[in-house]
Every structure is written in C-alpha cells, then in structure tokens.
Amino acid sequence: MTELIQQHSPDPAAGEATRWWRDAVIYQVYVRSFADGNGDGIGDLLGVRSRLRYLSGLGVDAIWLTPFYTSPMADFGYDVADYRDVDPIFGSLGDARALIGDAHAHGLRVIVDVVPNHSSDRHEWFRAAVAADPGGPERERYIFRPGRGEAGELPPNDWESVFGGPAWTRLAGGEWYLHLFAPEQPDLNWENPEVRAEFEDILRFWLDLGVDGFRIDVAHGMVKAEGLPDIGHHDQVRLLGSDVLPYFDQDGVHEIHRSWRRLLDSYPGERIGVAEAWAPSAERLARYVRPDELHQAFNFGYVNAEWDAGSFRTVIEESLATTAPVGAPTTWVLSNHDVKRHVTRYGGGDLGVRRARAAALLTLALPGSAYLYQGEELGLPEVLDLPEEFLRDPQRLRGPDSGRDGCRVPIPWGYTEPPFGFSPPGIYQSWLPMPESWGPLSVESQLRDPSSTLNLYHAALRLRREHPGLGDGSLTWLDSPPDTLAFTRGSLVCTVNLGPEAVELPTPGRLLLASAEPATAGDAVLLAPDSAAWWESHGG
Ligand code: GLC
C-alpha cells in the first residue's frame, strides 16, 4: 500500500475567504504522546515536525497542538507558567516557529491551545500574588478571599474542584485562592482589565508567529457569578455540563469571546477560535458560536452518545438544529485527551474496533467539521492496566476510574516492540509504557494492510475531500429499519447499522467505502452488524 500524499496549500497570508473551518478535519496532537524527537521518552515539537508527512498524507486539514508552553506539568501543560515560551521538555520557541512553517508547507493549518481560565502556580503573577499582602494589587489578578468560620479556617464557599475536593486552597498568610482545577492551577480574575489585556497580547504573540487559531481551554469558565454564591450541592462534578453553575457558562464570558473574535478578524487568513465549553444545553452552547463570537465549539453531546441508533440520531439532530440558527458549523468529536477512547467506550476488543470504524464513517459523513484524536485512526483502545507508579493525572483524585492516562499512551509508529518507534532507536522507555501487543496496531503495520483502520481513514478522508456532497452543508434522513441510520449528502448515501444483527436494505447505490463489507443479495444488501458504508446513489 503506498502512502497517500495529498498536498493542498492554504495561504494564511493571502486573506482569501475560504471558510476552511466550516468543514475542516482537525487532528488533535497530544504533543507529549505523539512522537519523541529527542529521545527522552516524551513527545515534543521536533517529533511532531518529523511526522507532518504522515499527517498531510492522512488527509487532514489542520492540527491542534495541546499546550507546549513552559509548565511544571501538574496537569501536563494545562498549567502554564509562561504563555510566550516553550517548555524545554517540548523544545524551544525556534522549534515552534519551525513547526508552524513546516506544517504550512505541508498544507496543514496549525491551531494551538490557550489556557485563560487559570495559570500555573509557578507563573510569575501567582508567585507575586503569594508574596504580596492580602488586598495587594498582585492578588487582584487571581481570586483571593478570606475564609469563613471564626478564624477563616473554612473555604469562602462550597465550590468543588473539577478534579475533586474543595476548589479553594489556603495560603499560610490566611487567605484562600480559587482553583476550579488542581491547586497548582489558580483561577485568574477576568474582572481585572490587566488580565484581559495580557491575554490579548498572548494571542497576538502566537498569531504573529503564524498560528491559524486557538482552542480555548475552559472557554466557559473565565467569568464567575457575582458574589461567588454557594451551590448547596456536594457532587458538583455530576452537574458539569448539565446544570447552571455559578462558575461556568456565565453570560459575561461572551464579551471576552467577542473581543477575541475582533482580534482574530484583524489578522488575514481566517484565524479561528474553538471553544472547549461545557454548557447546560445545546442552546447555551450555540451562544459561543454566534457570528461575532467563536468559530466552533466542541460537541460533547456527540462524545457522550451511547452506541445506539436512537441516541446518535437524537444528538445529531439536536446539534444541527441548535447551530443552524446562529449559522455556525457543527463539530463532531469521538475522542480527545480527556475521555476514554471510543474503541473502549463502545465495548472494547473486536466489537469496539468494529463500532469505532463504523463511527468514523458516520462522523466523517456528517455536515460540519470533524476532530480526530491522535491514534483513533489506528483504532487504539484505552490502556486500562497501566502500572500504578505511572499514573499521574490529577483527575484521578475524583475517584479510582477517572484518570485520563489511559487515553494518553504514546502512538505506536512501527517496529515490533515498545516503544514502537515513538522514540528514536535505542530508547526503550516512553513516559507511559505501551502495551506489548500494540505491534499490529502500529502505523507501519497498518499501512501494509489494505483492510486496516488506518487505511479506512485514508480512504474516507480522501473521499471526503473529493465528494461534493460531503463537508459543509445539510443532510437528509432516509427511512431505515430499527437499529440503523441512513441519510444522504447530495448523491452520497451513508448507512449505519448499530445493531448486533445484519440488516437487509434495498441497495442504496454503488458502494464507495465500508467499515465492513456488506453482502449483496440481488437488489438488496445485508449491512453487517456494527458497520457503516458510503454509497453513490443510483443516478448520482
Ligand atoms: C480542559 C483540558 C483538560 C485540563 C483542563 C484544565 O478540560 O482539556 O485536559 O485538565 O481543561 O485545564
């Protein structure tokens, strides 16, 4: 099997209105686990550069790089100590510049993460805040409050951290500071104009370096309800994304996104903002993608859909119906660095892989933009049995099964034993160990196997570029038997069988691509269980 190389050349400086983001396929690179260029067992920018040919060959439009900024890594880079520099673990600013340039030369746009809700506790601002007296201007950049109780020994309110435990930590001097995530991630005070100005400057820094957009971490969190009111519920993690909380999805965040949109629009080349926002309803989520706000928001409803035709149809209809009135494209996401990989969510083993292959064809046929998480094109499962001593995700504090290390295991590129070409030859230990059994899942093995999941993604991404029905636009549902979904996109028909039995259908047209080959019987076809197929309709 020859590697597919497709070159397309966005010219970010040209300023053409391509609206590229409306149907872009954006590949999430979790830098720490993608490719290790310098041989320390940890992925880095050099490693990403060395794999750009793979990414452009796969046929994606853009890459999103998770944070590679200076960080003590309490939350693996989502605790930023210097927003304008690269952590030595990942390389240098020169490497970032070179990566952006090389990616553009490979026809790939580059989106970087920005983490505005909180900084690291090692950020110079927070160090200054700790050193300052209560009430000092240095503390005004964060959210400091006196405690409750006679001696201020109780937290200022009942808010809980997303990672578990109270959202407040007390300093030796007596005041408490807010951290919606780990104690090493103090929340910034967005009521302070200095914070707003600083982040506009940070965005400009990276835009000037040539990035094509930002994925905005916790885009719904920067503004907190006036007076920081108690919630009165002591399992707040369960309410995330389903209930109104005084620290998430407050109306005030939209003003920030509007100002960022103005900033993005002041640059040529359609630079975009993508919200990581958890909102209590699809309507509330759509507010982040109004025409004067961000371009996209992750569709977490789709991530959460059960493997069931009704569940998928409902979330697809809801997603399309809520973004349409604001004119925004929908995004489709199956996995990311925060959730269990979908092969495992859908049942694991062969069953999980079959379903994940079907989900890929469903996802890439839907109108809008799609996000792929590194390794999903290889059908990687969650690694559930990582040795205890390697587990370091702060989210584990939430409970025994909540850690995210298992979806962050490095990518197997080739060779026959760990670390499977993740690191240069001669290096044996990756930062998280890779299962011995991953040889057949490696890129090298899968490129040789025409029926591999990697080759299914190659073919689907190529067709998605070529077929006029795919990408941006609308879909029309077709009647189909229970447990199945069928819809058209122009002359393309997508059929999905989410049930455990084969299902007979009148042949929808000429078969273009299938996650599992359907059997033909006269004018009918038998869709295999847990499979999807793309067809060119008769007359199409
Ligand atoms: C986002 C990131 C996650 C991180 C958290 C705190 O949800 O995706 O990885 O832990 O924000 O920054």
Give the span between the Cα atoms of 505 and 493, in whole angstroms. Answer: 13
User: Is residue 67 a contact partner of residue 78, using CB atoms and an 8 Å limit?
Assistant: yes
The CATH superfamily of 472-537 is: Golgi alpha-mannosidase II (2.60.40.1180)
Best residue among 75, 179, 274 to mutate for probing ligand 1, ranked by most atoms within 8 Å of CB:
75
- List of residues 6+ apart from 346 with CB closer than 8 A: 307, 352, 355, 356, 359
- Cα Rg of the chain (Å, integer): 23
Could you tell me if the CB of 160 is within 6 A of ligand 1? no
303 phi/psi in degrees, rounded to 5: -60, -40
| pLDDT for residue 173 is more than 80 | no
Could you tell me if the CB of 398 is within 6 A of ligand 1? no
Give the span between the Cα atoms of 102 and 80, in whole angstroms. Answer: 25
Give the residue range(s) of CATH 2.60.40.1180 domains in the chain: 472-537
Catalytic residue list: 217, 276
For domain 124-178, give the fold: Oligo-1,6-glucosidase; domain 2 (3.90.400)
pLDDT one-digit tens code per residue, 361-403: 999 999 999 999 999 999 999 999 999 999 989 998 777 778 9
**pLDDT for the residue numbered 122:** 98
pTM check: above 0.85: yes
Kindly report the length of the chain: 540
Q: How far is CA 11 from the centre of its chain?
A: 24
pLDDT one-digit tens code per residue, 443-465: 999 999 999 999 999 999 999 99
Beta strands in 161-254 (DSSP E): 168-170, 176-178, 213-216
Amino acid, res. 305 = A
Architecture of domain 20-119+194-382: Alpha-Beta Barrel (3.20)
| pLDDT for residue 334 is more than 70 | yes
User: Is residue 325 a contact partner of residue 358, using CB atoms and an 8 Å limit?
Assistant: no
pLDDT one-digit tens code per residue, 51-99: 999 999 999 999 999 999 999 999 999 999 999 999 999 999 999 999 9
Give the span between the Cα atoms of 291 and 479, in whole angstroms. Answer: 34
Give the span between the Cα atoms of 435 and 442, in whole angstroms. Answer: 11
Give the residue range(s) of CATH 3.90.400.10 domains in the chain: 124-178
Alpha helices in 19-74 (DSSP H): 45-50, 52-58
pLDDT one-digit tens code per residue, 217-258: 999 999 999 999 999 988 899 888 889 999 999 999 999 999
Which of 404, 429, 432, 433 is CA-nearest to residue 78?
404
Distance (Å) from CA 217 to ligand 1 centroid: 6
Ramachandran sector of residue 204 (left: φ over 0; alpha: ψ -120 to 50; beta: rest): alpha
210 phi/psi in degrees, rounded to 5: 110, 10
Ramachandran sector of residue 189 (left: φ over 0; alpha: ψ -120 to 50; beta: rest): beta
